[in-house]
Amino acid sequence: MFQLNDQTALVTGASRGIGREIARTFARAGAEVILASRTLEAVTKAADEISKEGYRAHPVEMDVSNVDSIRKGMEEVGQISPRIDILVNNAGIVRDNLLIRMKAEEWREVLATNLDGTFCLTQAVVSKMFRQRYGRIINLTSVVGQMGNPGQCNYAAAKGGIIGFTKALAREVASRQITVNAIAPGYIMTDMTNSLGEKAREGLLNLVPLGQIGSVEDVAAGALFLASKEAGYITGHVLNINGGLYM
């Protein structure tokens, strides 16, 4: 197993699902983990669950769509740890609708959290990594950002933008031994997919060559690898964790 001993990781959108599992996996690998979410009660519960296992986990309230919230959250992060070795930009929302019916606010909300939030928080963290001359930045994109999906023009635009952001930033910071990569999950078993009916789930499985829906553990394992020192020669890469849905 890859180890993250003596490292500090900041994971956004960490109150549930993929973000929570990445935080737990990093903690088990030896990292001190800071879990960020705009809902303090939920992220505190997630951090407490990890702490009860005997690992180091701290909750921080942070809404990545709000610059003031990022500033305040980063001040709290600085009180927990003077350095951030790993940043996982996982926070994201959906506001699905066909383009012809999509409200401007539905477009703006998704872009503000998923894309603007990734930019703003990364900008706040990367200066620390510059001084450290080390860092791992992992951005959660989506298979939807690669192949599109009806009713998700806003989400696809945001997630596609994250891919471009990842590749450009990877070139900017490589000289400081900072790697920047993305993970593009496919259909993953989360609260959303759990709520699907049997027929809808079968329809999804028919699109996936491996014939199964992925797990949050699958995504967390990919994140752990990209965060590790063993992945030090990988940057600007998009890791597809999708069962072959998009190749």
User: Which residues, other chains included, contact 44 with Cβ-Cβ below 8 Å and sequence gap of 6+?
Assistant: 59
Task: Give the dihedral sign, CA 139/140/143/148.
Answer: negative
Sign of torsion over alpha carbons 194, 107, 119, 34? negative
Distance, C-alpha 23 to centroid of its chain = 10
How many other CB atoms are there within 10 angstroms of residue 212's CB atom? 13
Active site residues: 155
Query: CB neighbours of 246 closer than 8 A, spacing ≥ 6?
Result: 143, 146, 147, 184, 186, 240
* Residue 43 burial class via C-beta count within 10 angstroms: exposed 0-12, middle 13-18, buried 19 and up: buried
